[in-house]
Chains A and B, each alone.
Chain A
Amino acid sequence: MKAMRTNGEIRIGFYICHCGTNIAGMVDVKEVAQYIATLPGVVVSRDYRYMCSDPGQALIQQDIQEHNLNRIIVASCSPLLHEQTFRSAAEKGGLNPFYMQMVNIREHDSWVHEDRVAATQKAKDLSRAAIQRVFFHKPLERKRVPVNPDVLIVGGGIAGIHSALTLANAGKHVYLVEREPSIGGHMAMFDKTFPTLDCAACILTPKMTQVKAHPNITLWTYSEVMAVDGFVGNFKVTVKRKPRYIREDLCVGCLECIEACVYKDARFPDEFNLGLGKRKPVYMPFPQAVPKVVVIDPETCIQFKSGKCKQTCVEVCDDRNAIDFEQKEEIREIEVGTIIIATGFQTFDARRIPYYGYSIYPNVFTALEVERLINSAGPTGGEVVLRDGRKPEKVAIVHCVGSRDENTNRWCSRVCCMYSLKLAHLIKEHTDAEIYNFYIDIRAPGKSMEEFYNRVAEEGVHLIRGKVADIYPDPSVPNNGRLIVQAEDTLIGKILRIPVDMVVLSVGLEPRSDAQEVRRLFNITCSTEGFFLERHPKLAPVNTFTDGIFLAGCCQGPKDIPDTVAQAGAAAAEALALIDTGYVELEPNTAYIVEEDCSGCKSCIPLCPYTAISYLEDKKKAYINEALCKGCGVCVAACPSGSIKQNLFEDEEIYSEIEGVLAYA
């Protein structure tokens, strides 16, 4: 072993954990402890059943006092689990916590080997490496940075609305940014909600108006986040406010401009009603829209197309002067400490399954379209009718469209069974039609769900267990729009061909098509199916891998309204916890620049995945923002002049560790 450049005498305490039989079952822990005791610098070497237990930790503290230890090594599980535990133990014993080093002999050794002798040898090698490394450890300090108490919420569906109100009611200032002209999201499109059948608008509208009226909420609709900089507690966000050609502060929502528009009839597809209804170039997205401000669509407005409109809308708006054809896109810069992403979902595009005939046969609808038909504020005033206006007498509801299928989306979309049963009930109520629900399995977990299933079954809905295989025009009555739905009734083993007037496709939920762009914008991750990934599926369900950014609602995965609201509340609580702590502590394993060695070549700057490195023009040197640095080491390895170093990963620490692991013993 080479001579040590260290300050004073190094006194090491070594502890090897049995972890019950997890480690001791494969590694001879006593032999390892005996061997380590023979190494230079080691003062104490012990094995113990559970190092993470209170007595285990007390043992470390006691030894520090009694034996005047100044380095601690714990050979046990992954540092992901207990590094914090043992650092605290060292700290309580009076040591700088970064004098503690862990050796992973469970995940890296006992769990993955079958030869006890070799596993024991490996435990010795790994432990010896740590012994050699800790000689060079330095005391390090965690830095604290303050947390800006303002919060950004992206997405104004029920998730974003609930998070915003929770935070605002707690006295925090919230920016709620919504892409569409009104908040409300998908929930605003629904008629009634399962399993209680309360009207979606009746429970949602009060929350929407509260958002608008709340003094702590800045509501920016028709707006999008363009850029996010900074880090937990200190984000800088750029928001684009798209022009709606209406002065939001002056419009009173009287709708007179719509009446006065030179187009006498609404003739353009109405987005909110999924094209089932029509609107004019100037329109209110839906009656309960918040803010209650109209929008002008420049794609269809004559003034924008030809510049020669009579501008009857401006005339009728009169001295309110709310219409502004010259309005431009605005860019706003805001600073927030935490961000909640609540960007929601999109429904599966049923055209991807050609044999279900969506957009081929007019009487095939998606479930969301039928929600609009049933809704009394919808395009038909609440009449469930076919595209030619007739009332259906037989309706098939096809479950699992695009879900649970290797060919489309593999996951269960979780809400479709219940909404399909709800639609069965509502369509029957509105039309008295015969309803056929084709399902694979009815998934009705949760409060009152099974009871609702029971209720719909009792109402006489035909529940057929079989995935629909084909939908095609009834050849016996060509051209009258009637369709045949073909499936095996798997419970009786017969092939059914049921003639129906209307088919409702229960389309699944999937990530929004721009989820990958949003992911990059906020530097978060997606799971394989494309929903945003939570930090831990059970224990950190609303956190992301980026500190200070939280998830709420269906952008994280399909869920119903109660679960969405619960998650939105949880995300708000996580943000509040950060805000009320007032600061965040940063891990000290960051990179730093030895300025006199830096040549100012800038090669490190584009390599940094966290944009933590900038260039100081005055000094002609690179500068690393410690708060942004995650300690990945890319710049350290890349620096041509060797001027970048990293705390806890200094060259001599790493080389000694390597020598230790490779030394023959």
Chain B
Amino acid sequence: MVMTHEAIRSVCDITLETLTGIPEGRNVLTCIQCGMCAGTCPYGEYMEYPPRKIIAMLRAGLIEEVFHSDSLLNCVACYSCMAKCPRGIRLTEVLLPLVKERVFEHLPEVPRELQTALQNTLRYGNPQGLSPAKRAEWIKTAGVPIRILSQNPEPVDVLWFVECYTSYHPRGQDNSRAVAKLFHALGVDFAILGNEERCAGECARLVGETGLFDTLRERNMGVFRKYRFHQIVTSGAHAYDAFKYIYPCYGFDYPLEHITTFFAKHLEALKPLLTKKLNYKVTYHDSCCLGRHNGFYEEPRALLQAIPGVKLVEMTHNRISSLCCGGGGGGMWLDTYYKSRGMERLSDRRVKEAIQTGADVLAVSCPYEVSRFEDALKLAGYDDRMVVRDVVELLAESLGGD
């Protein structure tokens, strides 16, 4: 698996023209055209230019042609091609964003849903277009006190970067309430940025809107610098990736955890608190960012197995083979576009495997997945037999006490 677990500082100012000047880029020259990338791509059959062909065109000096095809909009940044590439080429991380940026410039028309999400993110700091002044509204329903740094800027151990879906979406807020409850149960000293927080911008970058990403990144970095804290813990799997791999180009050097890995590291302290038995048969969906990109396959499973009563079952495609929910790289706002082209929604494909396991709960660890899989289960007519829960929601439920 191609995982470097480190930021790619050398790609900060890289362009397609200078790509082969750095080691991470030069290895496109070693591509053996084996087709692994296209073969493993969830939308492989819709890719006029899969990574293999992009590299061939790049090497032949014909890359310009690729910019005029919109097939890269079908890339949902699932990291499958990169994880399995036998030459270790950093496709999803390095090559594809550079090409996508140019594809995006050449798009005759940006699909409407995506256009709106991007405009919203620019204007309001969240793709839903909700008021930035209401970003921290959810804490009123948290049931536990939550400190906002702008109101009390004392140094804090954990700066919790909540992210968009977990701030605004009703089901995302369930995730946030669960995290707050778990933090309290563990006695974690934490605070949030409240209305100062903006989308981390990972999807903007991976769909090709680099300018928007830069705006968001600068804004967030400015806010981080105002406060003193020991580490950043985020609920967003995509925010985690942005902070870990791209923000360090611009001075981000804070210790970082995703909530899943944070709680996995505190598992011994957490275990005695998990007193309520949950008699669920659970199947876990590896999110692309946490799984394939970062190799966190066992941490979420360890958390689930720590919950009394939970029986864990696996889907056919798990861990490195996990099937993407289709929400990454802007895919979150391209469902209508994909449908108009007769493409199956990837979340629909994924829940078929979940259903085959006979599980009651589809456990997830990325905020996009909750709504996507709930929709897909509804469409499959299976929502009465299977529910979608974030791992942290199950942990909080097992805390008991209420």
> Please, which residue of chain B has its CB at the minimum distance from the CB of A491?
B35
Q: Which residues of A contact B385 (CB under 8 A)?
A: none
> Please, which residue of chain A has its CB at the minimum distance from the CB of B81?
A469
Q: Which residues of A contact B32 (CB under 8 A)?
A: 404, 440-441
Q: Is there a chain B Cβ closer than 8 Å to A256's Cβ?
A: no
State how many angstroms separate the Cβ of A211 from the closest Cβ of chain B.
Answer: 41
Q: Is there a chain B Cβ closer than 8 Å to A470's Cβ?
A: yes
Are A487 and B39 in contact, CB atoms less than 8 angstroms apart?
yes
Are B316 and A469 in contact, CB atoms less than 8 angstroms apart?
no
Q: Is there a chain A Cβ closer than 8 Å to B86's Cβ?
A: yes
Q: Is there a chain A Cβ closer than 8 Å to B106's Cβ?
A: no
Q: Which residues of A contact B317 (CB under 8 A)?
A: 470, 472
Q: Complex: how many Å from CA A493 to CA B52?
A: 10
Q: Which residues of chain A from 459 to 500 have any CB-CB distance to chain B below 8 Å in the complex?
A: 465-470, 472-473, 475, 478, 486-490, 493-495
- Assuming the contacts A355-B84, A407-B86, A440-B34, asked whether A468 and B39 have C-beta atoms less than 8 A apart, the reply is yes
State how many angstroms separate the Cβ of B155 from the closest Cβ of chain A.
Answer: 42
Contact of B86 among A355, A406, A472, A473 (CB under 8 A): A406
Contact of B45 among A405, A441, A473, A495 (CB under 8 A): A495
Q: Which residues of B contact A478 (CB under 8 A)?
A: 356
Are A495 and B88 in contact, CB atoms less than 8 angstroms apart?
no
Q: Is there a chain B Cβ closer than 8 Å to A40's Cβ?
A: no
Count how many pairs of residues, one from A and one from B, have CB atoms less than 8 Å apart in the complex.
76
Are A488 and B50 in contact, CB atoms less than 8 angstroms apart?
yes
Contact of A494 among B45, B86, B316, B320 (CB under 8 A): B45
- Assuming the contacts A467-B34, A473-B316, asked whether A493 and B39 have C-beta atoms less than 8 A apart, the reply is no
Are B88 and A469 in contact, CB atoms less than 8 angstroms apart?
no
Q: Which residues of A contact B316 (CB under 8 A)?
A: 472-473
> Please, which residue of chain A has its CB at the minimum distance from the CB of B36?
A467
Are B86 and A466 in contact, CB atoms less than 8 angstroms apart?
no
Interface string of B68-89 (1 = CB under 8 A from A): 0000000000000000111110
Q: Is there a chain B Cβ closer than 8 Å to A354's Cβ?
A: yes
- The number of residues on chain B lying at the interface, defined by a beta carbon within 8 Å of a beta carbon of chain A, is 29
> Please, which residue of chain A has its CB at the minimum distance from the CB of B46?
A495
> Please, which residue of chain A has its CB at the minimum distance from the CB of B84?
A469
Q: Which residues of B contact A488 (CB under 8 A)?
A: 35-39, 44, 50, 52
State how many angstroms separate the Cβ of A348 from the closest Cβ of chain B.
Answer: 13
Q: Complex: how many Å from CA A406 to CA B85?
A: 8
> Please, which residue of chain B has its CB at the minimum distance from the CB of A475?
B352
Q: Which residues of chain A from 480 to 533 have any CB-CB distance to chain B below 8 Å in the complex?
A: 486-490, 493-495
Contact of B35 among A472, A473, A490 (CB under 8 A): A490
- Assuming the contacts A466-B39, A467-B39, A467-B86, asked whether A354 and B319 have C-beta atoms less than 8 A apart, the reply is yes
State how many angstroms separate the Cβ of A464 from the closest Cβ of chain B.
Answer: 9
Q: Which residues of B contact A468 (CB under 8 A)?
A: 39
> Please, which residue of chain B has its CB at the minimum distance from the CB of A404?
B86
> Please, which residue of chain A has its CB at the minimum distance from the CB of B80?
A469
- The number of residues on chain A lying at the interface, defined by a beta carbon within 8 Å of a beta carbon of chain B, is 27
Contact of B2 among A407, A472, A487, A493 (CB under 8 A): A407
Q: Which residues of chain B from 308 to 363 have any CB-CB distance to chain A below 8 Å in the complex?
A: 316-317, 319-321, 352, 356
Contact of B320 among A355, A465, A490 (CB under 8 A): A355
Interface string of B123-165 (1 = CB under 8 A from A): 0000000000000000000000000000000000000000000
Contact of B39 among A354, A400, A486 (CB under 8 A): A486
Are B45 and A470 in contact, CB atoms less than 8 angstroms apart?
no
Q: Which residues of B contact A489 (CB under 8 A)?
A: 35
Q: Complex: how many Å from CA A354 to CA B38?
A: 18
Q: Complex: how many Å from CA A405 to CA B32?
A: 10
Contact of A490 among B33, B40, B45 (CB under 8 A): B33
Q: Is there a chain A Cβ closer than 8 Å to B62's Cβ?
A: no
Q: Complex: how many Å from CA A404 to CA B33?
A: 12
> Please, which residue of chain A has its CB at the minimum distance from the CB of B85?
A406
Q: Complex: how many Å from CA A470 to CA B37?
A: 11
Q: Complex: how many Å from CA A584 to CA B33?
A: 52
Q: Which residues of chain B from 30 to 61 have any CB-CB distance to chain A below 8 Å in the complex?
A: 32-41, 44-45, 50, 52-53
Q: Which residues of A contact B35 (CB under 8 A)?
A: 465-467, 469, 487-490
Are B53 and A466 in contact, CB atoms less than 8 angstroms apart?
no
Q: Complex: how many Å from CA A421 to CA B381?
A: 47
State how many angstroms separate the Cβ of A492 from the closest Cβ of chain B.
Answer: 11
Q: Which residues of B contact A465 (CB under 8 A)?
A: 35
Q: Which residues of A contact B39 (CB under 8 A)?
A: 466-470, 486-488, 495
Q: Is there a chain A Cβ closer than 8 Å to B269's Cβ?
A: no
Contact of B87 among A406, A472, A473, A495 (CB under 8 A): A406
Interface string of B383-399 (1 = CB under 8 A from A): 00000000000000000
Q: Which residues of B contact A490 (CB under 8 A)?
A: 33-35, 38, 52
> Please, which residue of chain A has its CB at the minimum distance from the CB of B319?
A354
> Please, which residue of chain A has its CB at the minimum distance from the CB of B48?
A493
Q: Complex: how many Å from CA A466 to CA B35?
A: 5
Q: Complex: how many Å from CA A440 to CA B86?
A: 11
Q: Complex: how many Å from CA A407 to CA B53?
A: 22
Q: Complex: how many Å from CA A367 to CA B171?
A: 50
Are A469 and B40 in contact, CB atoms less than 8 angstroms apart?
yes
Interface string of B17-39 (1 = CB under 8 A from A): 00000000000000011111111
Q: Complex: how many Å from CA A81 to CA B1?
A: 43
Residue among A354, A470, A472, A475 with the highest chain B CB neighbour number at 10 A: A470
Q: Which residues of B contact A469 (CB under 8 A)?
A: 35-36, 38-40, 84
Q: Complex: how many Å from CA A475 to CA B357?
A: 12
State how many angstroms separate the Cβ of A383 from the closest Cβ of chain B.
Answer: 29
State how many angstroms separate the Cβ of A480 from the closest Cβ of chain B.
Answer: 15
State how many angstroms separate the Cβ of A549 from the closest Cβ of chain B.
Answer: 35
Q: Which residues of B contact A355 (CB under 8 A)?
A: 84, 320-321
27 CB < 8 A contacts A-B: A354-B320, A354-B321, A400-B86, A406-B85, A406-B86, A407-B86, A407-B88, A440-B32, A465-B35, A466-B35, A468-B39, A469-B39, A470-B39, A470-B40, A470-B317, A470-B321, A472-B321, A475-B352, A475-B356, A486-B39, A488-B44, A488-B50, A489-B35, A490-B34, A494-B45, A495-B41, A495-B45
Beyond contacts A404-B32, A404-B86, A469-B38: 17 other A-B pairs, Cβ-Cβ < 8 A, are A355-B84, A355-B321, A405-B86, A407-B88, A440-B32, A440-B34, A441-B32, A466-B35, A467-B35, A467-B39, A467-B86, A468-B39, A469-B39, A472-B317, A488-B37, A490-B52, A495-B38
8 tightest A-B contacts by CB?
A469-B39, A488-B35, A469-B40, A467-B34, A406-B88, A488-B38, A405-B86, A466-B35
